[in-house]
Amino acid sequence: MFTCKIYHDDLNILHNQNYNNLKEIAQDLGLTYQQVADLSSRKEKKKYQQFKYFPKIEIVKIKKEC
């Protein structure tokens, strides 16, 4: 399970939903799977994420409880 949150600042949340996998996130947001995988890994900040009006996109894996 993953949670996807898109916001401009803490007050303006545009999207906040849970998904079973990254493919579902890509289909819902109209992005490619590779774009979503890139956003979820966030190993380093990408150049396009530094624009002034780029929304913050957080994709976090939800760990299953045993």
The domain ranges of the chain are 2-61
CA distance linking residue 44 with residue 19, whole number of Å = 24
Q: Give percent above pLDDT 90 in the chain.
A: 44
Average pLDDT, the chain: 85
The reported pTM is 0.77
R_g of the chain, CA atoms, integer Å: 12
57: left (phi over 0), alpha (psi -120 to 50) or beta: beta
2 has a pLDDT exceeding 90: yes
For residue range 18-51, list pLDDT tens digits in order.
Answer: 999 999 999 999 999 998 998 888 766 666 666 7
